[in-house]
Amino acid sequence: MTHEERHQGDPSASVLAALPDPVVVLDDHARLIWANQRAESRFGWSAADLRGRSVAHLAHPDDLETALASLGSVADKEVGSLVELRLSDAAGGYAWFEVRGSRWDAGPPGSVVLVLREMTDRRRWELARGDTALLGAILDAAPTMHLLLGREGNVRGCSRAVTRVLHRPLDVTVDRPFLDLIAPGDRLAVSAVMESADGTTGTRTLEVELRTADGSPVPVQLTFVDLCADRVVQGIVVAAVEIRALVEARAELEHRALHDDLTGLPNRRLLRRAIEEARDGSRDGGHTLLFCDLDGLKRINDRHGHRSGDTVLAQVAGRLAGVVRAEDLVARLGGDEFVMLLPTDDRSVIDGLRQRIDDALAAPIRLADGADVQVSVSVGEAPVRREATVDDLLAVADAAMYEAKRGRGERAGAAEGRS
């Protein structure tokens, strides 16, 4: 009579016998005292053969310590930790199982119920199906760099992608500090992640720059997996994915968001940001705004078309950018309006720039139809004051520009009257 037959009146035993996974019961000496029918068929032993067999006869020698430690821990809690073990069948072959145990208070004192879930089916879906040599070959061929770090932060191992991407030989990378690969400006952030790893921090991600053998920067996304508490790994697994294309795309998008499409100059958004920084970070009078309005653009648009007007705006923008200093900012506010932000209130510097603006626009601009047109700008000036808003500062400079434009018109009318 089988053990199942002897326990036909025990509903719990009937349930255990019907489970699709092998289920066994161990006594307090780690010996099998019961097994369901699935365990008999999977391992090739009858229930009678299994009874009294020690777990030491079933577990792979390299996994025996893990098995015994796990069994010992079940006594202190209702459900034990999930462990992976290699277990032997009657033919002497080993297969991987996920094993979880729990106390069986209804059985003999100290007995434990183990549920064994075979991992063979699951590994059909894994990349290397448990083949470590195949897994190593796949990792070496992958474009992602994989590294294993020790608790102290040294590289214990890495994939060949490190050589392909960073041009660093593996023999001079392994056993060296991982921080040696990191750009100096990013080392503090990386060091903080590594120092916090204690087996509980999970996964962390950073975007940093690595350095090639010749010091060239390589932007990457680093993913740190904290496996310091894992008995097999006992370290940090790092995956590094090169993100140069992503960084360049972000930079392009940011440039477009902050620059004028037609002229390439900083746009209103970037100008306002620069004025705010100048206002908040300097003494009163430390910066000056020049508000420049193009004279005669409407006449050019009406006579030659808006495409010619765009040509004039682009030409004027280039000339204005060519006369400012490296520390000055020239932006297109919109339409035919340009604004310069100067980090100075020195009268001679400002007057010198205004003269260079007039000189730069003295030469005519050649249009696509071959016509030459002459333009000028009216310039208004305003000091940057800490208590004023950005809109207030621009309004003051704009009003000064219109005053200058009226003065220019009055002088032009007087000159016509004398001629």
Short-list 87, 97, 93, CA closest to 118: 97
Q: Rounded to two decimals, what is the model's pTM?
A: 0.58
**In whole angstroms, how far apart are CA 313 and each of 324, 328, 400?**
17, 20, 22
| Chain centroid, CA 266 distance in Å | 27
Rounded to 5°, the CA angle 111-116-121 comes to: 180
CATH class of 132-247: alpha beta
| Phi, psi (deg, nearest 5) at residue 112 | -135, 135
Element (H, E) at 158: strand 155-158
What residue segments make up the domains of the chain, in order of their start?
A: 3-123, 132-247, 259-418
CB atoms < 10 A from the CB of 291, how many? 26
Among 105, 336, 358, 372, the active-site one is: 336
The per-residue pLDDT for range 294-317, each reduced to its tens digit, is: 998 999 999 999 999 999 999 999
Q: Which long-range contacts (CB under 8 A, 24 or more apart) does 67-73 make?
A: 67/99, 68/30, 70/99, 70/101, 71/26, 71/30, 71/101, 71/112
- Predicted confidence at residue 57, as pLDDT, reads 87
Question: Which residues lie closer than 8 Å to 208 by C-beta, 6 or more apart?
Answer: 182, 183, 186, 189, 190, 219, 220, 222
Element (H, E) at 250: helix 244-258
* CATH annotation of 3-123: 3.30.450.20
Active site residue 345: no
Helix (DSSP H) and strand (DSSP E) numbers for the chain: 16, 16
- Predicted confidence at residue 5, as pLDDT, reads 46
* CATH annotation of 259-418: 3.30.70.270
In whole angstroms, what is the distance from residue 266 CA to residue 270 CA? Answer: 6
Low-confidence ranges of the chain (pLDDT < 50): 1-7, 412-419
259-418 and 132-247 share a CATH fold: no
Query: Residue with structure tokens 């310069």?
Result: 340
* DSSP secondary structure code for residue 388 in this structure: S
